[in-house]
Amino acid sequence: MLSIKNVHKRFGNVHAMNNINLDLKPGLFGLLGPNGAGKSTLMRTLATLQNPDQGEITLNGVDITKEPDIMRSVLGYLPQDFGVYPRMSAEALLDHIAVLKGINNAKERKDQVLSLLKNVNLLTHKSASVATYSGGMRQRFGVAQALLGDPKVLIVDEPTAGLDPFERQRFLDLLSEAGEEKIIILSTHIVEDVRDLCADMAIMGQGEIVARGAPEALIDKIRGRVWRKKIEKSEVDAVKEKYDGRVLATRRLMGGVVISVLSDNAPEAGFEQVDPNLEDAYFAHLYKIV
């Protein structure tokens, strides 16, 4: 069990984490939020790269801010940005990271490195320097290094950024297979990643947890209250002003704009009630209009 209680973190006047409380057990946990919501700050804190200003984080009852090695010994971490040694091949660098993770048996290291390179579709590029990889290839390498050593806690921050649809699905499949035995925290702003994988999730905005629950439970809170209408681009500002505080999203479609509004009743003629999706629930909770 990973327990986060009353955690705060400030950077100057910015309250990056404001009274965060979460209890996480093995399985896939999705953390959704826009850029700047505080997701990466929380991930770095859980990875023991920084301490909170207030609050307590425990793993199986042990305070990891006081004993960070307890977390580090079981952690796999894929940050949003990571560096590599410029002259090392993918295979050599993974072997080096495996040594740092305490995998001392040479054959075990080699078998694990090659297996992970195969799983992330980099086996044919194992001798190439990671510094020469494309953005998507480097992201796949990051996935491999995070999975080294069979970690019990896996933290992945914006993991599918830069991946094409095929590689994104490959990565999500890897997470899904690992999710039953590990605590996996998937931090992202891509709603589909959480919808497809996670049975439990939270929405973070402006340093706070604004909603927590199963994706379907969050959707159920707005069921029967989401209305959409296609309007002209010239009408967007006027409609937004008319329904200020209740507009979930606007999306361009075939020369027009589809506007989504949260309302107990039909807003006006032309609006149709629709079955909500996780994106609707995300915006409704993020804007605190549920």
| pLDDT above 80 for 12 | yes
Label residue 80 by pLDDT band (50, 70, 90). confident
pLDDT, residue 263, reads 96
* Reduced 3-state DSSP string for 90-153: HHHHHHHHHHHCCCCCHHHHHHHHHHHHHHCCCHHHCCCEHHHCCHHHHHHHHHHHHHCCCCCE
pLDDT, residue 177, reads 79
- What mean pLDDT value characterizes the chain? 92
| pLDDT above 90 for 90 | yes
pLDDT, residue 181, reads 82
Q: Which two tokens stand for residue 30?
A: 């999705």
Contact 283, 249 (CB under 8 A): yes
Q: Which two tokens stand for residue 73?
A: 């010994």
Label residue 233 by pLDDT band (50, 70, 90). very high
Q: At what angle do helices 135-147 and 165-178 cross, to 10 degrees?
A: 10
Choice among 139-143, 168-172, 252-256 with the minimum mean pLDDT = 168-172
pLDDT, residue 173, reads 83
| pLDDT above 80 for 4 | yes
75 beta partners: 153
| pLDDT above 80 for 55 | yes
Give the closest residue to 33 by CA, choosing from 262, 213, 190. Answer: 190
pLDDT, residue 10, reads 96
The stretch 125-149 carries a mean pLDDT of: 90
pLDDT, residue 176, reads 83
Q: Which two tokens stand for residue 117?
A: 């390179």
pLDDT tens, position by position, 165-195: 887 887 788 888 777 789 999 998 889 889 8
All residues at 6 or more sequence positions from 114 whose CB lies less than 8 Å from its CB, including other chains: 91, 123, 126
